Structure 1
Amino acid sequence: MKYIYLLVLGLAVIKVRCHVTDRVKNSENSEGLTTQLPVGDKGAQIGVKDGEKHEPHKTVKGSDSSVYLDDVLFSLKSQNWTAEEEPCLNQIKLLLYSLQNFTLWAVWDWDAQASEPQGLLFANRYQLGNFDQCMGAPWASTHKELKTKYCLAEIVLERTDKAVRKRVEKPYYPYESALDYIEHRPPHSRPLNELTWGACVPAACAPGTVERLLGVMLARSHLGAAGMRANISVTEPCQSSDDEMEYDELFYAFLQNSLDLLKMKKDGIEVFYGIRFLTICLIVLDHQIGIYNSGPISDGFTSDQFTSLSLIGIKHTVPHSVRYNAMIFSQQEVQSPLGLLILHDDLFVDTFFLLSGFLVVTNIANMKRLPNPLLMILKRYVRLMVAFAVVIFYVCAVFPYTGTGPLWNRAVAHDTEQCRKNWWLNLLMVSNYVDTENICIVVSWYIPCDFHFFVITILVYYVYRRLPTLGITMATILTAAAVVLPGIINYIYQLSAVQLFTFEFVMNPRGNEEFHVTYIKSHTRFAAYLVGFYSGHLFVTYSKNGNLNRIKQKWSVLGTCAALLLMLVVMVFGSTFLWRSYHPLEGAVYAALNRPAWACGVALLVLCCSFGNVPIVKSFLSWYPWVPLSRLSYGLYLTHTILITRNVFITRNPQHNDYFEILNSSIGIIFWGCIGALLLWLFAEAPANKLLAICLRSKPINTVAVEPAPTSITTNVNAVATSSGHLHGNLPDTIHFSSKF
């Protein structure tokens, strides 16, 4: 028995040695081989160079992934290909065969894209893969035959079973059909049957070939299991590592003009209200939330239903049954304290209209002789337009060169093309009325509105100073029209009582009806400006003798509390229109009164702080650090959406929607936006305004009360500086409140 065991052990050792020897021989014989297509396939030797030595490849045939790749190959071969598509087909075949052999370049390319969509049911629309991996292969410069490009495809999934669409009673019933879940879409949420898929494909592939390849891959994914039909389109040019944007004449002209601006110097510092800077910060935060949610996020479901309350809105035109189903999971969130406070925060813009009207009248009311209104309008135009023109120039000439990424070209197209087309409308101050579907810089609608208000107000006030009765009559008619018109337009067009910041709106504000009809039009936003003008006139009337202590502290505190309460009620009541039953007449009344009512609250707050003593509020808003920051508010307004857009659309992968991160990003936007605003002020605004003042000045001006300051339309009130040290020694003796914004 002992010898038998020894004999078996010896035979086993001999067998193992033979097996090892065979493997070594096979390994030696395989040295120098590269991936080859099976005999009969065209392009079998693509990627092989004479004299090159390649490492042996690991064969993965027989695995589940190999079965998947074989299936893709079979489907591609069975289709009819044109002669123009043959090079792409050969490259794809080589890619798939090389992938089966686990060749590095093929695994690299395939790994750069998602083989199938993930997280679609959680509203993860953007399947971007790895853009940089596709564009930056280490051998891109040495092996041109392996060149790839990155293409974006838009896909819309449609069910093919022709099932009758029925009312969804339980949108989250786990045993229902996933097709019903994908098809069901509440009015405020993003669609689940649409996705953007990034593909890393051979450079020889045309858009139509990419569409067919993605169709094959999608059909073999879990989304193709139910037989959903995919409408795939590649409409944007694909990106390649060899694509470099050539600097055009606009780019170099911008740099040249920047050097010219460096020759000019800033002459002084102006003081602004603290509320101005805090308000623009809140607007930056709102826009950060909106633009961030319009970009690629991985948890769009959570954003729509629970966290991104600013995007929730239900139009009154939606059938009651559909609206009811949406309210099942949205009304609770909309009625939350946070939702009620942020859903109608577009009222912050009316704060700027009020401040502008307030400060205009305080500048001109004490003038014994009113200057030529045309010169005042010219100064106002230069005040608003110089920095705005520089930003438009930047968007047209430089902005496209400041980023890259899967979605970057799309983001640039949404801004640069419109500005290159309609920049002249902005310069003419008519961009909020002419071709508003292609408005250059969406938030710029504010600028022509402010300019229109100034022109009309100055002309009417000029008539009032000459013919008081006629001036009062014109002002009365103008005020009544400013209040009534928004309500009438709202009722005629059956619009929502408030602007709905839905997912469709943040994705494409230029395509929203309310945005064009009421939100950006001067004749529907004038009321808040007039409230500011009248409250400013009241301030001038009761402060002529220099005595500002007219209200006792208790009454000023009560007045401040009433102002804050009025503002809170207006904002919260407007948010309720997003979920409760809609009545056209009630909506029209609210549309007419909500903005002037908000402005009245801000005006009451300002007057209580001016004529009384409100210890906490007044000291906070008068805190000296707000002075230089608020001076940069206009520049921050012009630049912040450009910075946000770049941050959002250079991303390579969907981001998790975290509101602390959004707040953190907003702080960064405010910081860099202020830096940009400072540069605009130093190199554009201050020099241009100073130059205009020199050109128009016929003789020295001894007091600012006679002529508006050259850099802005201002009012001067005595103030005691709270600073000390070197900075204090360089401050002016008076505080200038600019009404530019």
Structure 2
Amino acid sequence: MKRLLIYLFLVINVKCLVLNQTENSEARYINERLTKENVEVAKSVQDESRVYLDDVMFMLKNQNWTLEEKPCLDTIYLMLQNLQNFTLWAVWAWDTQSSEPQGLLFGNRYQLGNFDQCLNAPWSDKHKNLRFKYCLADIILERTDKDKRKPVDKPLSPYQSALDFIEYRPPHTRPLNEITWGVCAPVSCQPKTIEQLTEIMLNRSHLGAAGIKPNIAVTEECQISNQQREYDGLFYGFISLVGILVILSLICTYLNNRKNDSSEETKKSAIIEAFCLRENASNLLKMKKDGIEVFYGIRFLTMCFIVLDHQIGIYNSGPISDGLISDKDAQSTVGMLVLHDDLFVDTFFLLSGFLTCINFVRFKVLPNPIFLILKRYVRLIVAYAIVIFFISAIYPYTGSGPLWNRAVAHDTDQCRKNWWLNLLMVSNYVDTENICIVVSWYIPCDFQFFVVTVILFWIYKRLPRLGLLLTSVVTIASLVLPAIINYMYQLSAVQLFTFEFVMNPRASEDFHLAYIKSHTRYAAYLVGFFSGYIFAKYNAKSNTRRISMKWSVLGTFFAIVLMLVVMMVGSTFLWRDYNSLEGAMYAALNRPAWACGVAAIVLCCSLGDVPIVKKFLSWYPWVPLSRLAYGLYLVHHIIITHNVFVTRNPQHNDYFEILILAGGVTVYGCVVALLLWLFAEAPANNLLTLILKPKSRRTEASNKNQPTISVHPSISTLPTSSSGHLQDNLPNTVHFSSKF
């Protein structure tokens, strides 16, 4: 028995030993096989990489190069050789750029690579021969088989050629055959050389395999590492101006706070008070109830919608990865609520005309029209001039990025060239292709409306029949001219904010012929003027006629419905067949119809009672915000453009993110507008009051019982004063401003 147990023990041990040896052999076999496969894969990848690089070098050698291009080619050959050895500087430079376009079929136009890596190599200071520059190459893809191509019945069929899909472009969508490619090239390379290098890279991509011929152009100056923009005289001039205003305001604030309340009022003390930050800030918060408090909310909320619209448009024109979805959204319900949002500007025209009429009807004797026009001009121009100065002098230094120089050039170059046209209030008629600040077209329009209205009212006061006749002719012309111009030039019924327009508004024919011209936009202003007359008549103390709550609520409801219908019908022209007569009729009536809707809301809330709407629009916090609306309008597009074009990579077009960004732009824009008000606008208004005060005293006897009203230089022209009051700005006289 004992021997049997020993025998079994020996057998089991031997069997376990054999199994262990077998398992170890299999494990070693598997490990050796995996190692061999990994080596083969690595060798295969390395071989493919070498084949790719050898192919690039072969294509380089078979190009026609000039003697001037030799330094660039030598550096590129050296980079490719070192790239095969995986040398750091070569891999660093090659790694900065896309080897082929990605997401082109989904509307990703911008292939920007890594801008910062290209220009910020750690050794660029010590090794000048290893410095690179970043260039933008604009590419248009053209197919080479156009003669053999057959018409495509189903452009979105998954089994068609991708070339047909790239070439297919429905109206008002972005082209898929256009690419902006960021190239990191040696500093010695010339634009022509970079174009050839880009073509070689493109031919090595999946697009080159399809037989596409690229037209490549490098037209802009490339950005070089460690290259700093030099400060010029304009830069130092703007900094000096800001410094003077800040120091002057701080000194005057200190002196004004030390002044005794019983001290005699002198011209010197009045000047000091004009620059006092404390006085100007407190005046910003004062509210005077005058029956049209709803203007506060309408003005600021309209400005918020404009900021949101511009955020969507500029964001969509920048580098986004899902442009195809954005183009589809343009024909959705969201698109219908955005494409024709230029009507919000007509809201400002209506408010401006409304307040102008209220001021006029309160005159027993019309002041000198020249003085009224001068006051309006001064009130408009101060913040406007500072923003133009900022764009011309400071704006280029505030950002960087692949597309930054290109985006800045659209504003800075035009402002340096045509700033004087803006200051003369003729930029919407003269050299409009190079208008300084695209959104500023509104300001000369509003000023020109005011001038014409003052002249018509002045004529009416002296020759009533002639004044009524001229007003009738102007009113009819404001309705007829948009229709005639639209019909003659076969323009779109409305200026829709499509991709083509937001990419380059200055290139739009509709923009120059109809959108920014005063003679095509006057109707909404006149609707406001006539609405103001209705309000002034029925708001008189001796008149007890008011609108009941029932009719006020119904009137507000139908006014909102009218505005929505006008907006959404206009957006349908994006995909409808063009009809000249229909387009002309809509072009003539859509803006005054929108203005009638806004006017109905104002009258129903002011002469009647719409509980929720009236209380909301008259909410006190709107008071200071509405007074900052003009400054917000002037600066919001600068902030949006900066945020969009300092980006390094395409962004996803998410509407919730856009809403958050628009909110941030509104907040920061109001902060900047507050600074403009405290240090520039308010002091200028106060000084204007001081200068005109002696002349105003001459009419004190005749006007001492006359109610005075002043309008703060702000977007909707709500009567606010340079001191913040609604009805007591310049003593003994009347002031107007309808910036918006």
**TM-score between the two structures when normalised by the length of structure 2:** 0.84
2:445 corresponds to 1:445: no
CA RMSD of aligned residues (A): 2.4
Residue type of the alignment partner of 1:555: W
Q: Secondary structure at the match of 1:417?
A: helix
Structure 1 counterpart of 2:189, from 205, 221, 226: 205
Residue 271 of structure 2: aligned partner: none
Residue 468 of structure 1: aligned partner: 464
**In the TM superposition, what are the counterparts of 1:687-726 in structure 2 within 5 Å?**
687-698=683-694, 699=696, 709=710, 711-712=712-713
- Following the alignment from structure 1 to structure 2, what is the Cα–Cα distance between the partners of residues 142 and 181? 48
Shift in Å at residue 59 of structure 1? 9.9
2:724 corresponds to 1:740: no
CA contact (8 A) 2:528 2:599 kept: yes
2:166 corresponds to 1:193: no
Residue 569 of structure 2: aligned partner: 573
Q: Secondary structure at the match of 1:150?
A: strand
Structure 1 counterpart of 2:672, from 666, 670, 676: 676
- Following the alignment from structure 2 to structure 1, what is the Cα–Cα distance between the partners of residues 155 and 59? 36
CA contact (8 A) 1:363 1:705 kept: no
Residue 265 of structure 1: aligned partner: 276
- Following the alignment from structure 1 to structure 2, what is the Cα–Cα distance between the partners of residues 579 and 241? 47
Q: Secondary structure at the match of 1:273?
A: helix
Residue 84 of structure 2: aligned partner: 100
CA contact (8 A) 2:711 2:719 kept: no
**In the TM superposition, what are the counterparts of 1:172-571 in structure 2 within 5 Å?**
172-262=156-246, 263=248, 264-265=275-276, 267=280, 268-269=283-284, 273-305=296-328, 307=329, 309=330, 334=331, 336-545=332-541, 550-571=546-567
**Deviation sequence 1:448-483 (CA, Å, 0-9, x none):** 100000000011011111111111111111100001
- Following the alignment from structure 1 to structure 2, what is the Cα–Cα distance between the partners of residues 240 and 382? 43
Q: Secondary structure at the match of 2:126?
A: coil
**Deviation sequence 1:80-112 (CA, Å, 0-9, x none):** 322211111111011111111111111111111
- Following the alignment from structure 2 to structure 1, what is the Cα–Cα distance between the partners of residues 487 and 203? 48
Shift in Å at residue 296 of structure 1? 0.7
2:145 corresponds to 1:161: yes
**Deviation sequence 1:291-326 (CA, Å, 0-9, x none):** 111111111111112x3x1xxxxxxxxxxxxxxxxx
- Following the alignment from structure 1 to structure 2, what is the Cα–Cα distance between the partners of residues 695 and 638? 27
- Following the alignment from structure 2 to structure 1, what is the Cα–Cα distance between the partners of residues 350 and 65? 65
Where structure 1 has 5 or more consecutive residues not aligned to the other structure, the ranges are: 6-11, 13-57, 310-333, 718-729
Residue type of the alignment partner of 2:85: N
Shift in Å at residue 694 of structure 1? 1.2
Residue 623 of structure 1: aligned partner: 619
- Following the alignment from structure 1 to structure 2, what is the Cα–Cα distance between the partners of residues 592 and 387? 33
Residue 630 of structure 2: aligned partner: 634
Shift in Å at residue 706 of structure 1? 5.8
Residue 51 of structure 1: aligned partner: none
Shift in Å at residue 210 of structure 1? 1.0
Residue 41 of structure 1: aligned partner: none
- Following the alignment from structure 1 to structure 2, what is the Cα–Cα distance between the partners of residues 715 and 568? 25
Q: Secondary structure at the match of 2:183?
A: strand
- Following the alignment from structure 2 to structure 1, what is the Cα–Cα distance between the partners of residues 544 and 150? 67
**Deviation sequence 1:177-204 (CA, Å, 0-9, x none):** 1111111111221111110110111111
Residue 131 of structure 2: aligned partner: 147
Q: Secondary structure at the match of 1:222?
A: coil
Shift in Å at residue 683 of structure 1? 1.4
CA contact (8 A) 1:548 1:611 kept: no
Q: 1:240–1:705: structure 2 CA closer, same or farther, 3 Å change rule?
A: farther
Residue 655 of structure 2: aligned partner: 659
Residue 38 of structure 2: aligned partner: none
Residue 119 of structure 1: aligned partner: 103
Q: 1:593–1:94: structure 2 CA closer, same or farther, 3 Å change rule?
A: same
- Following the alignment from structure 2 to structure 1, what is the Cα–Cα distance between the partners of residues 542 and 635? 39
Q: 1:708–1:625: structure 2 CA closer, same or farther, 3 Å change rule?
A: closer
Shift in Å at residue 234 of structure 1? 0.8
- Following the alignment from structure 1 to structure 2, what is the Cα–Cα distance between the partners of residues 735 and 619? 24
Residue 725 of structure 1: aligned partner: none
Shift in Å at residue 63 of structure 1? 2.6
Residue type of the alignment partner of 1:241: S
Q: 1:167–1:375: structure 2 CA closer, same or farther, 3 Å change rule?
A: farther
Shift in Å at residue 162 of structure 1? 2.9
CA contact (8 A) 2:709 2:719 kept: no
Shift in Å at residue 342 of structure 1? 2.4
- Following the alignment from structure 1 to structure 2, what is the Cα–Cα distance between the partners of residues 419 and 83? 40
Residue type of the alignment partner of 1:598: W
2:48 corresponds to 1:64: yes
- Following the alignment from structure 1 to structure 2, what is the Cα–Cα distance between the partners of residues 716 and 172? 56
**Deviation sequence 1:426-455 (CA, Å, 0-9, x none):** 011111111111110101110110000000
- Following the alignment from structure 2 to structure 1, what is the Cα–Cα distance between the partners of residues 542 and 620? 22
Q: 1:166–1:476: structure 2 CA closer, same or farther, 3 Å change rule?
A: farther
Q: 1:711–1:622: structure 2 CA closer, same or farther, 3 Å change rule?
A: closer
Q: 1:483–1:707: structure 2 CA closer, same or farther, 3 Å change rule?
A: same
CA contact (8 A) 2:97 2:184 kept: yes
Residue type of the alignment partner of 2:306: I
Q: 1:510–1:716: structure 2 CA closer, same or farther, 3 Å change rule?
A: closer
**Deviation sequence 1:321-354 (CA, Å, 0-9, x none):** xxxxxxxxxxxxx3x4333322222111100000
Q: 1:350–1:200: structure 2 CA closer, same or farther, 3 Å change rule?
A: same
Q: Secondary structure at the match of 2:113?
A: coil
Residue type of the alignment partner of 1:293: N
Residue 38 of structure 1: aligned partner: none
**TM-score between the two structures when normalised by the length of structure 1:** 0.84
Q: 1:404–1:174: structure 2 CA closer, same or farther, 3 Å change rule?
A: same
Residue type of the alignment partner of 1:337: T
CA contact (8 A) 2:711 2:737 kept: no
Shift in Å at residue 227 of structure 1? 1.9
**Deviation sequence 1:369-408 (CA, Å, 0-9, x none):** 2110000000101111111111000000000000000101
* Greater per-residue helix proportion: 2
Q: 1:504–1:219: structure 2 CA closer, same or farther, 3 Å change rule?
A: same
Residue type of the alignment partner of 1:198: G
- Following the alignment from structure 1 to structure 2, what is the Cα–Cα distance between the partners of residues 705 and 212? 76
- Following the alignment from structure 1 to structure 2, what is the Cα–Cα distance between the partners of residues 433 and 734? 35
Shift in Å at residue 740 of structure 1? 2.7
Shift in Å at residue 168 of structure 1? 3.2
**Deviation sequence 1:520-577 (CA, Å, 0-9, x none):** 0000000000000011011111112176771111111111112112212211222222
Q: Secondary structure at the match of 1:416?
A: helix
Residue 137 of structure 1: aligned partner: 121
- Following the alignment from structure 1 to structure 2, what is the Cα–Cα distance between the partners of residues 361 and 574? 29
CA contact (8 A) 1:531 1:596 kept: yes
CA contact (8 A) 2:376 2:737 kept: no
